[in-house]
Amino acid sequence: MKKLLGFIFIVFFGITTSTFAAPFTYTFSGTISHILDDAGAAAVAGISVGDSVSYTFLIDRARDPIEMYYDGSLNPNLIDSPPSRDYFYVDLLSGSLIDEVNGGSFDSAGDIAVYKEGLELDSPAGQGVIFLTGSDDNFIRLEGGLDLWTIGSIVNVEETAFDENVFYTTVTSQNLTLTNISAVPVPAAVWLFGTGLLGIFGFNYRKNKA
């Protein structure tokens, strides 16, 4: 029985720490420091320098990134090996300030419809990391040292959107402060799966013993 319980623990632990490894959310807050509004996206959004901003990103180092073209195909060059070593998954959960104007400019099959990626550059201990989320017509980019982030860390975030004539708006928020780091909980179904395994094997053990 002890060997059986040990086996169940190893399997369950492996599932919860690999397949269901918890990603993290990071929230950065501050104010807009600069706007270049050639596309008019900032005017449409009604934002101006000095306005408050708050971006929340989900970052999952164990999940592969996404670059999806408008024809539905994926860029295979991002994937080094599963899980990807240099590239990883990033998504913006909230905080976008502007949107593409009049449908934007980049909607052909060879353009990127979805970016959800982070890239760790060749530098010490994650000090060079680029994050990109959005599409060719509307994306958010930041650079920072992910492995060095703690509450109070400072980053710069740049959001860009295009119009139908390839004019663009860029909203820059310098010196945003990292105000919250949260682990995304392991899904309840995983824990139910584990307790279910224990229940099944426990029942069989009692049955065989009887």
Which residue has better confidence, 208 or 92? 92
What tokens appear for 47 in the block?
């934002």
User: What does the alpha-carbon distance between residue 126 and residue 207 come to, in Å, rounded to a whole number?
Assistant: 53
Over 70: is that where the pLDDT of 188 sits? no
pTM value is 0.77
Mean pLDDT lowest for which of 36-50, 78-92, 118-132, 181-195? 181-195
pLDDT of residue 35: 98
pLDDT of residue 22: 76
Query: Across all residues in the chain, what is the average pLDDT?
Result: 82
What tokens appear for 67 in the block?
């670059």
Give tens-digit pLDDT for 104-134. 999 999 999 999 999 887 666 556 789 999 9
Range from 39-48, 57-66, 111-120 that averages highest in pLDDT: 39-48
Over 80: is that where the pLDDT of 79 sits? no
- Please write down the HEC assignment for all residues of 170-206: EEEEEEEEEEEEEECCCCHHHHHHHHHHHHHHHHHHH
Q: Given phi > 0 = left and psi -120 to 50 = alpha, else beta, which region is 56?
A: beta
Which positions ≥6 away from 53 have C-beta within 8 Å?
29, 30, 31, 32, 95, 97, 157, 173, 176
Average the pLDDT over 149-155 and give the result.
Answer: 93
For β-strands 154-162 and 52-60, DSSP reports them as unpaired
* pLDDT classification of 3: cutoffs 50, 70, 90: low
Sheet strands (E) in 2-74: 24-31, 34-37, 52-60, 66-69
* pLDDT classification of 203: cutoffs 50, 70, 90: very low
pLDDT of residue 153: 94
Q: Looking up tokens 């959005």, which residue turns up?
A: 134
Domain parsing of the chain, residue ranges: 1-20+186-210, 22-184
How many angstroms separate the Cα of 189 from the Cα of each of 17, 178, 184, 192?
Answer: 14, 31, 14, 5
The runs of H, that is alpha helices, within 16-66 are 41-45
12 three-state secondary structure = helix
What tokens appear for 38 in the block?
């050639």
